[in-house]
Amino acid sequence: MESNDNEAGPEEMPEEMKEKIRIAAKAGEIVCASDALLRQHQTITYSVMNSVFGYNRSYMITDESSFSDFIGVNGLETIKAIHAKIKKLYDIDLNGMTNVKIVDVVVMVAGEDTKQ
């Protein structure tokens, strides 16, 4: 995997979150949702995550991941700030929408309908 100064490494994850993951893993409670739609649009997914959050493929998201999961990343302290950046980058207006999934924006950028 290529390295980039913008990559978020595990050392950036809060210790509290690391502990929650360790506990869940030991209890066998970690189950991942599908990422089939994101994989269909892998290049766009990489681009969105890099453009919005500065990540270069060092993250884990699924088709159920929402932008609110990333509040606080790359100086984006509110969901409104995330939505504003998406509006600026992609001219997609998410104002008034709640729990917007990353896959919905990826599919919009791809020019497809999210309801299949």
Q: Across the chain, what does the average pLDDT equal?
A: 83
User: Between residues 43 and 32, which one has the greater pLDDT?
Assistant: 43
Tell me the CA distances in angstroms from 103 to 40, 58, 60, 86, 100, one per residue in order.
Answer: 10, 17, 13, 13, 9
In the 8-state DSSP scheme, what is residue 74? Answer: G
Residue 11 has pLDDT above 80, yes or no: no
Across residues 5-19, what is the average pLDDT? 60
Nearest residue to 34 via CA among 85, 93, 101, 82: 101
Instruction: Give the model's confidence band at 6: pLDDT under 50 very low, under 70 low, under 90 confident, else very high.
Output: very low
Looking at the predicted structure, is the pLDDT value of residue 36 above 70? yes
Band the pLDDT of 110: cuts 50, 70, 90. very high
Give the mean pLDDT of 84-92.
96
3-state DSSP assignment of residue 44:
helix
Residue ranges covered by each domain of the chain = 32-110
